[in-house]
């Protein structure tokens, strides 16, 4: 029975997990940016990953993609034998396999977990694919903690993360394409016609609203998304393809947060103008 949970990472996903875990659980948290922690009342901030994991029945890793293996290594001094390790990170199959081996070296039970949607609005109930040799057993345990969208996917390590990151090539790439297309279209005053044409090809009840949402995701989370797309590029390369599209998406996603002030605009055109105005000011300053 899971009674104590250690959470490694306190970003967008980590905060949701900490807030929504059942009240009867004891929750400890470690994040490298400790000064940014704003703990729910029952959660305890710890000074190290090993401290947070000591005596934990379940460790949940919710760090940035590039820190996946480092996070697994950091818990080893405190990981108790037989503890579950739920890896929520958007890392490449190779990184997940390496993290799994690390946790197994301390007799922990590693479960590769691919979150297949934004964490909002479903939060812990978001669809998740569970992979690895312990995944089927874990699938019977984790719904009781609120992860009702989690399901067993494969006992083969790496398949769940490959699924996630191949999806990310499409989703994060689409965000980048919409941003680049409509920022250019707004410059030429043709954005309405472009959106109408897109609706003919890909029907949507509210293309302006959808486009604003997709662009807003890059403005707010582009740094993390760029890191995820670097993992996606590794995944594509692992399949024997040159990841041209994924690497281009890395650049556009990493670029976007510099223009996050435009998030204050609820209208698509106003958001586009806000970004372009910031571009013009930047060009003038240079």
Residues 149 and 169 in one domain: no
* Last residue of one domain, picked from the residues 95, 126, 157: 157
Residues 165 and 248 in one domain: yes
* Omega cis (within 30) before 121: yes
Domain that holds residue 18: 4-157
**Does the model's pTM come out above 0.85?**
yes
Residues 10 and 148 in one domain: yes
* Last residue of one domain, picked from the residues 125, 157, 189: 157
Residues 220 and 264 in one domain: yes
- Please tell me the predicted confidence (pLDDT) of residue 237: 97
Please tell me the distance from the alpha carbon of residue 129 to that of residue 138, in angstroms, as a whole number: 11
* Last residue of one domain, picked from the residues 102, 134, 157: 157
Residues 141 and 218 in one domain: no
Are the beta carbons of 105 and 76 closer than 8 angstroms? yes
Residues 67 and 182 in one domain: no
Residues 148 and 172 in one domain: no
The count of structural domains within the chain is 2
Residues 111 and 203 in one domain: no
Alpha carbons within 13 angstroms on the beta-carbon side of residue 136 total: 4
Residues 143 and 94 in one domain: yes
Please tell me the distance from the alpha carbon of residue 141 to that of residue 92, in angstroms, as a whole number: 25
Q: Which has the closest alpha carbon to 285: 266, 249, 263, 258?
A: 258
Alpha carbons within 13 angstroms on the beta-carbon side of residue 277 total: 10
Residues 125 and 196 in one domain: no
Residues 37 and 148 in one domain: yes
CATH number, domain of 137, equals 3.40.50.720
Residues 60 and 185 in one domain: no
pLDDT in tens, the chain (286 residues): 899 999 999 988 999 999 999 999 999 999 987 555 566 667 888 999 999 999 999 999 999 999 999 999 999 999 999 999 999 999 999 999 999 999 999 999 999 999 999 999 999 999 999 999 999 999 999 999 999 999 999 999 999 999 999 999 999 999 999 999 999 999 999 999 999 999 999 999 999 999 999 999 999 999 999 999 999 999 999 999 999 999 999 999 999 999 999 999 999 999 999 999 988 766 545 4
CATH number, domain of 204, equals 1.10.1040.10
Pairing assessment for the beta strands 43-45 and 58-61 based on DSSP bridges: unpaired
């Amino acid at each position: 029975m899971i009674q104590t949970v250690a959470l490694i990472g306190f970003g967008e996903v980590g905060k949701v997990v900490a807030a929504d875990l059942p009240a009867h659980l004891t929750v400890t948290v470690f994040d490298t940016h400790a000064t940014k922690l704003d703990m729910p009342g029952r959660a305890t901030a710890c000074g190290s990953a090993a401290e947070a994991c000591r005596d934990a029945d379940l460790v949940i890793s919710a760090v940035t993609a590039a820190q996946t293996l480092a996070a697994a290594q950091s818990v080893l001094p405190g990981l108790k034998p037989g503890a579950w390790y739920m890896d929520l990170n958007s890392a490449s199959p190779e990184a997940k396999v390496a993290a799994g081996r690390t946790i197994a070296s301390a007799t922990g039970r590693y479960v590769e977990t691919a979150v297949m949607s934004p964490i909002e609005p479903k939060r812990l109930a978001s669809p998740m694919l569970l992979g690895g040799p312990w995944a089927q057993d874990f699938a019977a345990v984790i719904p009781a903690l609120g992860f009702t969208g989690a399901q067993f996917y494969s006992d083969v390590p790496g398949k769940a993360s490959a699924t996630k990151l191949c999806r990310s090539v499409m989703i994060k790439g689409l965000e980048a394409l919409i941003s680049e297309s409509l920022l250019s279209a707004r410059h030429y005053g043709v954005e309405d016609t472009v959106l109408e044409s897109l609706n003919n090809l890909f029907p949507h009840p509210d293309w302006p609203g959808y486009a604003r949402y997709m662009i807003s995701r890059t403005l707010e989370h582009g740094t993390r998304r760029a890191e995820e797309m670097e993992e996606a590029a590794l995944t594509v390369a692992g399949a024997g393809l040159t990841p041209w599209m994924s690497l281009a998406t890395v650049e556009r996603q990493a670029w976007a947060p510099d223009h996050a002030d435009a998030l204050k605009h609820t209208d698509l055109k106003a958001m586009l103008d806000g970004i372009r105005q910031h571009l013009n000011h930047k060009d003038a300053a240079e």
